Structure 1
């Protein structure tokens, strides 16, 4: 299938209310101008994921993140490598955080939590959620669910002794305290995200809300996986594979 047709199929999955914002937050970064038989998905576009795509014989990559601009010279290096290998690349960022099959909704579904509110609005897109458990659960049980789901250790801080009923979530980077503040204002017992810093922890301690911090990559994996699997359902001749990404472990 042509790359342009795959991008068209992707766009049809989204309720696009603002074309300008959608085009700024998604799109093709490299078109190899060849038919796509095998598509690979990952959260990040890096030289390592491109190499993984080459090894797996992928014709097109679909990722949640483009190469970050602040990682100086990485974007140019990725485009050069994609051209060398003849691999097309498409990314979808905030629209995938917002949609009902994306990063936040997919993670909450796997945690067996029911979404009650879309939160953290930017330009008409909502990159956070409030969800609830049918029954109150122990905080440690929720931590264990996260560990088993992400298949990696998570950081957690317990700042209250309540069982968990209501959860605030921002997949990826919800470290800013204004993100946490919205979870507090929504009466959440625990806040889950993929990044934190000292102010995140101190504000959670001040507001007595529990914290669970996974990684930016693996809190968002299930959203891009969901997008890829939808393509697989809609385009029967398309083979879809996951491109493995390493776990980044920070040693303090």
Structure 2
């Protein structure tokens, strides 16, 4: 696959209006035109680049950039990408709100049967809404989430009903505004990748169940979905999943 082909595939998969509204995507490094091995993970980090280099990855695809508020990290990543002559492309907002993106992919991983409402952005995150065809015990959903993410999740049970309708904002979905939107849509459970004091407090106050995994692993499924779609268009490309540590969850009780 040539880089020009990769760029054309991205433009095909993501509607132009979506890319225009959510412009947090692009190239951190363009070093070689031929891509034989495409590595993917959630975060751009020094560790991810090192792992990709050891596996002879030509193009590293991530959901996150090394954001400016991680002072100095982006510069260090660019230096290492240059050292290994590795391409890097990240796509953030457009992947969160694509029909096959982070929310939909997590729903699929959790076995949610019906998509009621896709994730969107309207002066804040609008949760994706999904339903189980038959209600499931909250404890079963917690166990399934831990298994799917490969890490312990934090869970707060705030009512005794089985789970039927779920609202999801992957990654940093800690806002009480997003929880309220899930409640307004009739959700009995809310799932996200980060939870603050106010996330927990508001969920308790309103009586909605809350499950919080890590930012990294609630969003990985979306990156994997994108990588698989690229593979469908370019069968010759070999996909490499770049393993990231569960450092966000390392202090959580197991």
Question: TM-score, normalising length from structure 1?
Answer: 0.94
Match of 2:38 in 1: 39
- RMSD (Å) for aligned C-alpha atoms: 1.6
Gaps in structure 1 of 5+ consecutive residues? none
Deviations 1:142-175 (A, max 9, x none): 1011011111100000111111111000011100
The alignment status of 1:6 with 2:6, answered yes or no, reads: yes
Could you report, residue by residue, the CA deviation over 1:177-208 in whole angstroms, capped at 9, with x for unpaired residues?
A: 11111111111111000001101000000000
Q: Any gaps of 5 or more consecutive residues in structure 2? A: none
Q: CA deviation at 1:26?
A: 1.4
Q: Aligned residue for 2:48?
A: 49
- Evaluate the alpha carbon distance shift between residue 108 and residue 85 of structure 1 in structure 2; reply closer, same or farther with a 3 A threshold: same
Pairs aligned (count): 250
Judging changes above 3 Å, is the alpha-carbon distance between structure 1 residues 137 and 160 closer, same or farther for their aligned structure 2 residues? same
Give, in angstroms, the shift of residue 250 of structure 1: 4.4
Q: Which runs of 4+ in 1 moved over 4 A?
A: none
Task: Name the SS of the counterpart of 2:174 in structure 1.
Answer: coil
Cα deviation, 1:201-252, whole Å, max 9, x if unaligned, reads 0000000001000000001111100111111111121111100000013437
Q: How does 1:173-252 map to 2 (within 5 A)?
A: 173-248=172-247, 249-251=249-251
Q: 1:128 to 1:13 in 2, by over 3 A?
A: same
Q: What is the CA-CA distance between 1:76 and the residue it aligns to?
A: 0.9
Task: Give the SS at the match of 1:27.
Answer: strand
Distance (whole Å) between structure 2 residues aligned to residue 132 and residue 96 of structure 1: 22
Contact persistence 2:48–2:242 (CA under 8 A) = yes
Q: Distance in 1 between matches of 2:5 and 2:166?
A: 38
